[in-house]
Chains A and B, each alone.
Chain A
Amino acid sequence: MVPIAYYLVLAAILFAIGIAAFLIKRNVITIFMSIELMLNAVNLTFVAFSHMWHQVSGQIFVFFVMVVAAAEAAVGLAIIIALFRVRQTLDVDHINLMKD
């Protein structure tokens, strides 16, 4: 018997760590990973709410999020590979062609 609020707090903590990693990290791949972490945190809240309302639609939403995350990972990593071919770096501070 765990209060659902605890699961939600855990999800909030994971989401906040994801935000912090997104802002602090300088490597494109790690930034991408922190987006996945945030998606996972949101998925946990969906499953917890689906349990709370005794409905399966929350779990189906998580299923769709997983599918979209897979598509996003495939396209995003392809972009990263193309970017690396052109710039020879993965550091976001050095990918600044549009800035100067």
Chain B
Amino acid sequence: MQIALFIIFGLLAVAGALNLLFQRHPINSALSLVVVMMSLAVLYWSLGAEFLAAAQVIVYAGAIMVLFIFVVMLLNAGEEDRTHGSKIAYIAGIPGAAAIVCLLSYVFLSNRQQLGTTQLGGYLSSSVSNISEISHTLFTSLLLPFEVTSILILVAILGAVVLARKEL
């Protein structure tokens, strides 16, 4: 069951990421990134992180990517051209990325025994919910970082409002 979920949604995520790479139009890239995020949400859920799965859909797919698509629509961005700068990137980028994948995969796969296996629905028993555990940690031992993040969000809102104004 879990291996089937992993294969289906893992392949979907990789296909979406590759589509982001090969599409020329930014709106198609944005939509393929939405596909990646939705399949990652399913994978989070299969790892027992159901709150993060919901947050991934609501925050990433439902807010951040809508903002991206909104900006693409607002600026009416067209298809991108191929320039010589991107040719250099092709020569340097693709082998580099492939090397990173090979190295990381080798390290992970050679240590697969130590890393262990997963079970569907997480390690918690059904009496304790994932959400209450997260919120307990978040509001007791990690309260200060949480409040600092909210200030960060406030600063970001003000910065965005100032930057996007007509007369800069």
A and B in contact, CB less than 8 Å = yes
Q: How large is the interface on B (under 10, 10 to 19, 20 to 34, 35 or more residues)?
A: 35 or more
Where the two chains meet, the residues of B that have a C-beta atom closer than 8 Å to any C-beta of A are 2-3, 6, 10, 13-14, 17-18, 20-21, 26, 29-30, 33, 36-37, 40, 43-44, 47-49, 51-52, 55-56, 59-60, 63-64, 67-68, 71-72, 74-75, 77, 80-83, 85-86, 89-90, 92-94, 96-98, 100-101, 104-105, 108-109, 111-112, 115-119, 122-123, 130, 133-134, 137-138, 142, 145, 149, 152-153, 155-157, 159-161, 163-164, 166, 168
Given A21-B21, A52-B116, A66-B55, residue A74 in contact with residue B105 (CB < 8 A)? no
Q: Flag if A19 contacts B26 (CB, 8 Å).
A: no
- Tell me the A10-57 residues at the B interface (CB within 8 Å): 10, 12-21, 23-27, 29-30, 32-34, 36-37, 40, 43-44, 47-48, 50-52, 54, 56-57
Given A10-B43, A40-B40, A51-B122, output 5 extra A-B contacts at Cβ < 8 Å. Answer: A4-B115, A24-B94, A40-B60, A75-B163, A79-B163
* A-B residue pair count with CB separations less than 8 angstroms: 244
B156 near A69 with CB under 8 A, answer: no
Q: Which of B48, B64, B145 has the most CB of A within 10 A?
A: B64
